[in-house]
Amino acid sequence: MNEILILTILTIITAATPLVYAAIGELVVERSGVLNLGVEGMMLAGAVCSFATAHYTGSGMAGIVAGMLAGVLMALLFAFLTLSLQSSQVATGLALTIFGVGLSALIGQPLVGIAFDGLPSLNIPLLSNLPVVGQLLFSHDILVYGSFILVAAVAWFLNKSRAGLVLRSIGDSHNAAHALGLKVIRVRYCATLFGGACAGIGGSYLSLVYTPMWVENMSAGRGWIALALVVFAVWQPGRLLLGAYLFGGISILQLHAQALGINVPSQLMSMLPYATTILVLVLISRDRGRIRRNAPASIGQAFHPTT
């Protein structure tokens, strides 16, 4: 296989991994009936806290944990405002993104221009030495492997476990679930915190691997793309993984177009992922039947317990 093609595939994997984490977390959140539009802010908070921790401790794993915790704290704030205080999920999610952008810029100001060595690759013995396949599949860092495991685990959880059935039932009808004695608010809190943890890890990947340094607003709209991916996948984990790699491939087109000497304005190439997001959402919205069959019926609706 051509070396350029191998490098291109590896670049697509790197570009898609943060999208996988952010989108799979938001998928679980939405399946519980909660709409959190603050994914962008949580990713930025995770990115800056992860990079700061890794820089001062010298440990990439400590950075990942810090990024995850930052995402959880942001999600906890969102959950308290929307689930406990019954504020608007849409308005609160937008405010969370704005808050995350400003907070990350403030925390990261002393870290601008500082580089990090990145996470080490975990070469699997024997398998990583295989020609082509070894380099493509068995020579990645821990977060790439973790993204595949996470998608499989979420798919099993939602479709095969009792807890997943409870979560989906709450997303479909929180009033009926409450009448059956299910703890709607507790489940939604757990789902929201899980989504925040995943968004924080996605941000960690950006600052520790994808661009191993802190750059203000480095998520560059990936949180919004992650939200669109959930709809693109019609709330199915397997389709979400494929969609993330599709969008990852589109996002690195500009780099390879420039390398091949294609005379296309860089601004046009930079807007491709976002233009594709809009196009995909328009096309999917035409299939209203599939959306109705898969979308959580109670998404975005506040739950008011009667007892």
| Residue 235 structure tokens | 């709330």
Q: What is the pLDDT of residues 66-98, one digit of tens each?
A: 999 999 999 999 999 999 999 999 999 999 999
On whether residue 148 sits in a domain, the answer given is: yes
Q: Is residue 179 part of a domain?
A: yes
pLDDT attached to residue 6: 75
Q: Tell me if 8 is assigned to some domain.
A: yes
pLDDT band at 65 (very low <50, low <70, confident <90, very high): very high
Binned at pLDDT 50, 70 and 90, residue 306 comes out as low
**Binning pLDDT at 50, 70 and 90, where does residue 264 land?**
low
Segment 100-106 shows an average pLDDT of 94
> Facing residues of 112 across strands?
214
In a domain, 127, yes or no: no
Query: How many helices (H) and strands (E) in the chain?
Result: 15, 0
pLDDT digits (tens, 9 = 90+) for 210-259: 988 898 989 988 999 999 899 888 899 998 999 899 888 887 776 666 66
Q: What is the mean pLDDT of the chain?
A: 87
Residue type, 32: S
For residues 278 and 263, the model is more confident at 278
- Give me the percent of the chain exceeding a pLDDT of 90: 55
Q: Higher-confidence residue: 137 or 220?
A: 220
Which domain range does residue 13 map to?
3-116+141-294
Tell me, letter by letter, the H, E, C secondary structure of 174-203: HHHHHHCCCCHHHHHHHHHHHHHHHHHHHH
Assigned domain for 133 exists: no
Q: What is the reported pLDDT for 144?
A: 92
Q: Which of 57, 63, 8, 26 is nearest to 205 (CA)?
A: 63
Task: Locate all alpha helices (DSSP H) within 80-183, ordered by sequence.
Answer: 89-108, 133-137, 142-160, 162-172, 174-179
Let me know if residue 129 belongs to a domain. no
Between CA 54 and CA 59 the distance in angstroms is 5
Return the pLDDT at 261: 62
The sign one gets for the Cα dihedral 139, 144, 150, 156 is: negative
Q: Is residue 247 part of a domain?
A: yes
Which pLDDT value is given to residue 120?
80
Q: What's the domain count of the chain?
A: 1
Percent above pLDDT 70 for the chain: 89
CA dist., res. 284 & res. 288, Å (int): 8
CATH number reported for the structural domain that contains residue 50 in this entry: 1.10.3470
Encoded tokens for 119:
């996470």
285, part of any domain: yes
Tokens 């291109």 belong to residue: 8
* Token pair belonging to 39: 């994914």
